[in-house]
A and B are shown apart, each in its own frame.
Chain A
Amino acid sequence: MDIAVCGAQKLYMRGGAELHQDNLVAALEAAGHRAELVRLPVAWEKGRIFDSPLAWRMIPVDADLVIATNFPSYFVRHPNKVVWLLHQQRSAYDGADSRADWSDFGLDDVSLEEQRQLVEWDNIALSEAREIFTTSDVVADRLARYNGLKSTTLYHPPPLAGQLHPGEAEDFILAVNRFDANKRPGLIVEAMAHETSGVRAVSVGRGVLLDELRARTEQLGLADRVALPGFVRDEELIDLFARCLGVLYAPADEDYGYVTVQAFLAGKPVITAIDSGGVLEWVEDGVTGFVTDGSPRELGRAFDRLAADPAKAREMGAEARRRVADLSWATVVERLTSA
């Protein structure tokens, strides 16, 4: 089958969505399909937000099947359209609803009408799909709550899935994040100020908050116990996952969160927060990790629990690994192409 995978392109940015789309194309090709990735630039801010959806309506996409992955690529017009939704334009949904500082949809008249119109456009474009899948229950729940649309969650393996492996645990907690505010990369530093077991921390990733966190680590006198190496190569990341005691992943209302599943594939328990969204679809408190209130004190206490009982950490890691054993791209491809 000739399949076009459609996704938005934010210029000069590359993150989870782009990786996801690349991996989907590779999986489709591995299954014998001819697959091509189609991307169009998107503007997220109010006022220009309708331009890219309209562009998607206009372009010819010649394929037997199109798979749209995110806003606004699902505006593509095709008689055989399937949506596998990573996310909508969250600034107009949960961002606007919670009056988040990252949403520019306030309560002024222009914002009210553009938000209303975007919901209607989304509903029309999404309703054209033969089936709507989502990458997590969190995304499915948003669709139900805000759009009144039903969808099916279809989980997929994260990047590096075939290479991650368990290893002998050492005395450090690993955090893997983009250093942006919504990922709450500062939590690991603040939590380390509360742990009492002497465990160390390694927090990898890059982003605008990295320098600030390095300064905060110095300020708290934790520089010898908290490593902030920045970006690390894949081989090193796989090794860190294998050697850590557990993984801290507590972003704000995450859609899916590759890090959780990567940690599970490496046989490691995950410490998270009650408001971390899709992470909670995986982490069961005391079984595959610890669900905390997200405060540095409770996170620090969770670090101590892992350090005090390595056998329990191993047991939780093994259970976590069992729970992701069935994730496969072959299943994803089968579901998407037979919808």
Chain B
Amino acid sequence: MSATGLPRLKLLIGPEPPEGLRRLLMGIGSHVDFAGPADETDRAIWWNDHEQPGHASRYGAWVSEIGQLDLPIVRAATVVLTDDRKVLRAEPEAMFVAPEPVLATARTMLPVSRRRLREARGLPPQLVGIARGPHIRWFAGDRRPAVDIPDQLRTTAIAVASAVVADRDNVLDCLSWATPTVTDPGTAQAIGATADQHVVLRDDPEAAVRAALELASDERRASAIGWAGRRLVEQQHDLPTAVRRVLVALGLCDRTSAVAATGTLLDELRTPPICQTRWRIAEMINAFTARPGSG
């Protein structure tokens, strides 16, 4: 533990680290102390450095290309980190840190919650969206053609649609809202999505719309695909999740600790930053610290 009270993490990083690693380290930076005498820690992150983390009992090795998986230093690592999908395919246990961040404010909206929201807002019971390029259109039931959605309502449309056909520009936003999504095979491959697990795949635009209509009418399948798509984003495209997983893997925070901070608990449960539940918890904690109402 450093003077800051944070656990120490040693960086053995060669010059000009890759963008993904830089972003990960910035995220980790608020939970650990990179400064201080190196011999005071046995946890490290290594990338392409002349110094070996041999003394570290646990370390993460960043791998930029598949050939590095055979390096003894990588094979001995506690966890392999990468932003390369080829590496992930070759080493499924590797922790993937996607180059693209997703909408941090996106919330999980499974079909039942979408349906309730549509009903509350007086929208049609079924809405299918088509998100291509910068615009989104949607149509109700089989009442086509689709109508354009104003840009300022784009996120709302993604959050309430029964299902969406999404291209490469939109697919991650859709998945981050747990939207049941139809996309093309190339897009699925680019984001690491599996057919019929995270997304439904169709090559032809018209077939994609028909598939979205089918998905919108099958709530069990839509729930499974929406949830799996959201989990994919959380596990591969969400920086706070990546940070937490690295910290846990390196033993720098204990997921099962009973004294884990309530804030962390609420984060792990994906609780929105501003909501009734956080206020209630803050109120309870403030009762101990004699700071009523400071929430």
**A interface residue numbers (CB < 8 A to B):** 47, 50-51, 54, 57-60, 77-79, 93, 96-97, 107-110, 112-117, 119-121, 123-125, 127, 141, 144-150
For A113, the chain B residues whose CB sits under 8 A away are: 275-276
A116 partner residues in chain B, CB cutoff 8 A: 107-110, 113, 117
Chain A residue nearest in CB terms to B265: A57
Whether B227 lies near A149 (C-beta < 8 A) is: yes
Report if A145-B220 is in contact (Cβ < 8 Å); known contacts: A79-B256, A107-B120, A123-B227: yes
Contact flags B190-231 to A (C-beta < 8 A → 1, else 0) = 000000000000000000000000000001101111111001
* 28 A–B pairs (Cβ distance < 8 Å), ordered by A: A47-B276, A50-B280, A96-B112, A97-B115, A107-B120, A108-B120, A113-B275, A115-B112, A116-B109, A116-B113, A117-B272, A120-B107, A120-B269, A121-B271, A124-B268, A124-B270, A144-B224, A145-B219, A145-B220, A145-B223, A147-B223, A148-B220, A148-B224, A148-B227, A148-B228, A149-B224, A149-B227, A150-B224
Q: Which residue of A lies closest to B117 (CB)?
A: A112
Report Cα–Cα, A114/B258, bound state, in Å.
25
Check A117/B256 contact, CB under 8 A, given A112-B120, A149-B227.
Answer: no
B interface list, Cβ under 8 A from A: 107-110, 112-113, 115-117, 119-120, 219-220, 222-228, 231, 255-256, 258-260, 262, 265-266, 268-272, 275-277, 280-281
Contact yes or no, A50 B277, CB < 8 A: yes
Cross-chain contact A124 with B269 (CB below 8 angstroms): yes
Classify the secondary structure of B's interface with A: helix
B260 to chain A: which residues have CB within 8 Å?
Answer: 57-58
What is the interface of chain A mostly: helix, strand, loop, or mixed? helix
> Is the CB–CB distance between A78 and B220 below 8 Å?
no
Inter-chain contacts of B231 with A (CB < 8 A): 127
Output the nearest chain B residue to A116 by Cβ-Cβ distance.
Answer: B113
The residue in chain B whose Cβ has the minimal distance to the Cβ of A110 is B276
Whether B270 lies near A120 (C-beta < 8 A) is yes
Further pairs besides A77-B256, A127-B231: 18, Cβ < 8 Å? A57-B269, A58-B262, A97-B112, A97-B115, A112-B113, A116-B107, A120-B110, A121-B270, A145-B219, A146-B112, A146-B223, A147-B110, A148-B110, A148-B222, A148-B224, A148-B228, A149-B224, A149-B227
